[in-house]
C-alpha cells in the first residue's frame, strides 16, 4: 500500500521482513528498501528503487498512484544493488522516463546492467529539476558510503531524500520515527552507521557541513523509517559518530578454548567494573556476531582483545572480527591484548600485533597465562581492568549514551 509521506509524495518501497543477512551484516529486524514517488503539477519522479526480487511489488505500488508509463524521471541517488536492482524492470515499464543520476552512478549502473541505451539526464551538485510546483535539488555526498552517493532535496516541502545516510535496517509498516519506539530506531541507526558508514566518517562530516544550510522538515532515507519528529537527534548522532565520540565504556572481546582466556576476560571486566561511572561489556566472539561487536566498538573508549592459542595462532572467530574491525576503521581507541597458551607464542601476541593495524593505542604489554591463569595472573587482569576503566573515564568524549543523541 502506497503511503503518503508529504503532500503529493508517497512511499513506494518494499519491506523485507525476512532478510537476516545483508552481505554479511546481521539484520535481526529485517530490511526496508525505500522508494518515493514525487508528483509535481507538470512532471512525476520516482526517487530510488528496490532490490531486484521486489521490482514487481514496487511497480504495483507505483501503479496505484500513477500509470507507470507516465513517470518522467527515475532519480538514482546511489547505484548499489539494493536501490537499483529493480531498474531494468521499471525501465521496461516506463519508456519515457529519464534516469537522473551523476556520472559515477551512470558508470556503475552501466557496468551492472549493460544499460547503455537508457535515456540519461546527468546531474551534479547544484543541479535542479523542476516538476512544476516542486523542485528537486541534487547534492553529491561522495563516499557516504560509495563514490557515487548523492542526496536529493525538495525545498517546497523541506524533505531530504538521503539514500543510505540516516538509514536503519528496520521493518515497520508505519513510515515515521514518531510511530515506532525511538530507542529501537536510534539503535538500528547506530548499528547501520557502525557497520556501513563509519569508514567514511570524514566524508560524513563534509556532507553534514554541505547539508547544514538546508531547512529540514523531514529526512527520508532509503532504509527504515523517515525522520520528522527526531530530525535533530539523528543529525546530532551523525555529528557525534562521525567525530568518533566515545563513552566511558570498556569492551572486553575474547575467544576461549579451555576457559583460561574466559577467566582472564572476566577478571579484566570485574576490575573495570570497580571504577564508578564506567560501562563494561564482556563479549564472547564465538557467540556474538560481528555486526553487534562493531556496533559496541563505535562508542567504546577502550577495547581489550583476548584469545587462546591454537597452533601458534589466535582463534579464528576473533581474528575474523579483528579483520572486520580494521576495515571499519574505528579511531581513537585504547586497547590491551591478553590470552592463554600452552607452549610457544600465539593468541595474545597476534592480537597485540594487530593493535598497530587497528591504530589503537596500546596501554600495556599483553597479559599472558600459561595453561591456566593462576591467582597472580588473575590479580594482574583485575588491576589491568581498573586501569582500562580509568583510561576510559579520562578519554571519553561523550558523558553518556543519551548525550550521543540528545542535547
Ligand atoms: Fe543501501 Fe549502499 O546501499
Q: Is the CB of 188 under 6 A from ligand 1?
A: no
How far does the centroid of ligand 1 lie from the alpha carbon of residue 149, in Å?
9
Element (DSSP H or E) covering residue 324: helix 316-328
What pLDDT band is residue 407 in, cutting at 50, 70 and 90?
A: very low
How far does the centroid of ligand 1 lie from the alpha carbon of residue 177, in Å?
20
> Could you tell me what percent of the chain has a pLDDT over 70?
98
How far does the centroid of ligand 1 lie from the alpha carbon of residue 29, in Å?
17
Using CA atoms, how far apart are residues 369 and 381, in angstroms rounded to an integer? 10
pTM above 0.85, yes or no: yes
Element (DSSP H or E) covering residue 316: helix 316-328
Q: Is the CB of 352 under 6 A from ligand 1?
A: no
Average pLDDT over residues 134-144: 97
In tens, the pLDDT along 293-305 reads 999 999 999 999 9
Q: Where in the chain is the domain with CATH 3.40.50.360?
A: 247-397
Q: Is the CB of 16 under 6 A from ligand 1?
A: no
* Residue 400: pLDDT over 90: no
Residue nearest to atom 3 of ligand 1 (CA): 80
Polymer length in residues for the chain: 407
Question: Which atom of ligand 1 approaches the CA of 222 most closely?
Answer: 1
Average pLDDT over residues 329-344: 96
Question: Which atom of ligand 1 approaches the CA of 196 most closely?
Answer: 2
Alpha-carbon distances of 394 from 71, 141, 359, 389, rounded to whole Å: 57, 34, 19, 9
139 pairs with which residues across the strands? 151
How far does the centroid of ligand 1 lie from the alpha carbon of residue 391, in Å?
36
In tens, the pLDDT along 175-224 reads 999 999 999 999 999 999 999 999 999 999 999 999 988 999 999 999 99
> Could you tell me what percent of the chain has a pLDDT over 90?
95
Helices 290-298, 182-192: crossing angle, 10 deg rounding: 100
First to last CA, the chain: 36
Q: Where in the chain is the domain with CATH 3.60.15.10?
A: 3-242
* Residue 342: pLDDT over 70: yes
In tens, the pLDDT along 246-259 reads 999 999 999 999 99
CATH class label, 3-242? alpha beta
Average pLDDT over residues 60-79: 97
Residue nearest to atom 2 of ligand 1 (CA): 80
Least confident of 19-28, 169-178, 359-368, 397-406: 397-406
Residue nearest to atom 1 of ligand 1 (CA): 164
Question: Which atom of ligand 1 approaches the CA of 78 most closely?
Answer: 2
Give the pLDDT confidence score for residue 2 in this predicted structure: 72
Q: Is the CB of 296 under 6 A from ligand 1?
A: no
Question: Which atom of ligand 1 approaches the CA of 163 most closely?
Answer: 1
* Residue 313: pLDDT over 80: yes
Give the pLDDT confidence score for residue 1 in this predicted structure: 66
* Residue 114: pLDDT over 70: yes
Using CA atoms, how far apart are residues 192 and 200, in angstroms rounded to an integer? 13
Least confident of 78-87, 200-209, 359-368, 393-402: 393-402
How far does the centroid of ligand 1 lie from the alpha carbon of residue 198, in Å?
14
Q: Is the CB of 78 under 6 A from ligand 1?
A: yes
Question: Which atom of ligand 1 approaches the CA of 167 most closely?
Answer: 1
Using CA atoms, how far apart are residues 245 and 240, in angstroms rounded to an integer? 5
User: Residue 172: which of 406, 405, 9, 13 has the closest Cα?
Assistant: 13
Q: Is the CB of 80 under 6 A from ligand 1?
A: yes
The SS3 call for residue 311 is coil
Angle at 304 between CA 303 and CA 308, to 5 degrees: 145
What pLDDT band is residue 403 in, cutting at 50, 70 and 90?
A: low
Q: Is the CB of 48 under 6 A from ligand 1?
A: no
Q: Which CATH superfamily is domain 247-397 in?
A: Flavodoxin domain (3.40.50.360)
What pLDDT band is residue 345 in, cutting at 50, 70 and 90?
A: confident
How far does the centroid of ligand 1 lie from the alpha carbon of residue 80, in Å?
5
**Location of C-alpha cell 543541479:** 127
So which residues are the catalytic ones? Answer: 23, 78, 80, 82, 145, 164, 192, 223
How far does the centroid of ligand 1 lie from the alpha carbon of residue 145, in Å?
8
Q: Is the CB of 83 under 6 A from ligand 1?
A: yes
Q: Is the CB of 82 under 6 A from ligand 1?
A: yes
Amino acid at each position: 500500500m502506497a503511503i503518503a509521506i508529504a503532500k503529493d509524495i508517497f512511499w513506494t518501497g518494499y519491506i523485507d521482513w525476512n532478510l537476516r543477512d545483508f552481505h554479511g551484516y546481521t539484520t535481526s529486524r529485517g530490511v526496508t528498501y525505500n522508494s518515493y514517488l514525487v508528483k509535481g503539477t507538470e512532471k512525476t519522479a520516482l526517487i530510488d528503487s528496490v532490490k531486484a526480487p521486489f521490482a514487481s511489488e514496487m511497480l504495483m505500488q507505483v501503479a496505484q498512484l500513477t500509470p507507470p508509463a507516465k513517470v518522467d524521471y527515475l532519480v538514482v541517488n546511489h547505484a548499489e544493488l539494493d536501490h537499483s536492482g529493480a531498474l531494468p524492470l521499471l525501465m521496461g515499464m516506463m519508456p519515457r522516463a529519464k534516469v537522473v543520476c551523476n556520472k559515477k552512478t551512470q558508470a556503475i549502473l552501466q557496468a551492472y546492467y549493460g544499460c547503455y541505451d537508457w535515456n540519461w539526464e546527468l546531474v551534479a551538485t547544484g543541479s535542479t529539476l523542476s516538476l512544476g510546483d516542486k523542485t528537486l535539488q541534487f547534492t553529491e555526498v561522495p563516499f557516504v558510503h560509495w563514490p557515487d552517493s548523492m542526496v536529493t532535496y525538495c525545498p517546497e516541502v523541506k524533505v531530504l531524500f538521503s539514500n543510505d545516510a540516516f538509514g536503519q535496517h528496520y521493518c515497520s509498516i508505519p513510515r515515521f520515527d514518531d510511530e515506532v519506539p525511538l530507542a529501537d530506531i536510534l539503535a538500528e541507526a547506530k548499528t547501520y552507521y557502525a557497520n556501513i558508514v563509519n569508514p567514511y566518517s570524514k566524508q560524513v562530516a563534509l556532507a553534514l557541513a554541505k547539508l547544514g544550510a538546508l531547512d529540514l522538515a523531514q529526512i527520508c532515507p532509503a532504509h527504515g523509517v523517515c525522520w520528522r519528529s527526531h530530525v535533530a537527534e539523528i543529525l546530532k548522532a551523525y555529528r557525534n559518530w562521525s567525530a568518533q565520540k566515545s563513552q566511558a565504556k570498556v569492551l572486553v572481546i575474547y575467544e576461549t578454548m579451555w576457559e583460561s582466556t574466559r577467566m582472564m576476560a572476566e577478571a579484566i571486566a570485574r576490575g573495570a567494573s570497580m571504577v564508578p561511572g564506567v560501562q563494561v561489556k564482556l563479549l564472547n566472539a564465538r557467540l556474538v556476531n560481528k555486526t553487534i561487536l562493531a556496533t559496541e566498538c563505535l562508542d567504546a573508549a577502550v577495547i581489550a582483545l583476548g584469545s587462546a592459542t591454537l597452533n601458534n595462532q589466535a582463534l579464528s572467530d576473533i581474528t575474523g572480527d579483528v579483520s572486520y574491525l580494521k576495515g571499519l576503521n574505528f579511531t581513537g581507541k585504547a586497547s590491551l591484548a591478553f590470552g592463554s597458551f600452552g607452549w610457544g607464542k600465539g593468541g595474545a601476541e597476534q592480537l597485540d600485533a594487530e593493535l598497530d593495524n587497528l591504530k589503537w593505542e596500546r596501554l600495556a604489554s599483553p597479559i599472558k597465562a600459561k595453561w591456566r591463569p593462576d591467582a597472580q595472573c588473575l590479580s594482574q587482569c583485575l588491576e589491568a581492568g581498573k586501569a582500562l576503566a580509568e583510561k576510559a573515564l579520562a578519554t571519553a568524549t561523550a558523558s553518556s549514551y543519551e548525550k550521543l543523541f540528545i542535547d
